Amino acid sequence: MKLLIYLFMTLSLFANEQTTPETAYFTNINKTTSSIIFDIRYATSENFIGTPIDGYKKPLCLLTDPSAKALLNVQRQLQKEGLRLRVFDCYRPQRAVDHFVRWAKDLDNMKMKKEYYPNVSKTILFKEGYIAARSGHSRGSTIDLTIDGFDMGSPFDFFDPRSHTMSKAVTTKQHANRMYLKKMMEENGFKNYAAEWWHYTLKDEPFKTKYFDFIVQ
């Protein structure tokens, strides 16, 4: 009898795991490679809000299966050149995006202005597209990243025209570094968001209208 109960519980747990979005559609990149540097800022206080972001219980990179496969191809190509990726963010729960929106509307909170938006008024973050009520990250096929050790001319999540991929405010070498990352990502099926040199989305993303909200854990 005890054996039957145990088997029933095991099968039930297995069935529940199979129905969760991360099990059914997502790959945990942290478990598939040790060659990528995972610098998941939103699970820490090292971000433009200055506190851990809602929905991030662990510093993990979760991506839809085809996005994960494409990203690992990029990493393999870079490794041939003695290089590797540094990843800042992958799948982002909708509750995290909601956290960003609440912060952006709180005009009294300027805690991280000096580090992340010294030249931009917080009142225009929505208008300029730095903050939005929806994010492609929540669809699971968008990633923020860089090539480790490369000077890209601005930090990750720096709210400033200087962060535009084709900004002319950066040096020739910094521009070339951005173009190298862009080339590598595009060759593997990703497209860049012009306002952020670090932001890429899989062109053939499997969920074009689905925004997930499961916790990163």
130 Rama class: left (phi>0) / alpha (psi -120 to 50) / beta: alpha
Which helix (H) or strand (E) is 198 found in, with range?
Answer: strand 196-202
Active-site choice (46, 115, 196, 205): 196
Q: What are the phi and psi torsion angles at 105 (to 5°)?
A: -80, -15
CA distance 124 to 20: 37
Give the strand pairing for 142-147 and 190-193: unpaired
Q: Is 119 exposed, middle or buried (0-12, 13-18, 19+ CB in 10 A)?
A: exposed
Other CB atoms within a 10 A radius of the CB of residue 14 amount to 10
Quick check: is 196 catalytic? yes
CA distance to 76, 174, 190, 215, per residue, from 83 (Å) = 9, 16, 19, 31
CA distance 144 to 193: 10
Which active-site residues does the annotation give?
196
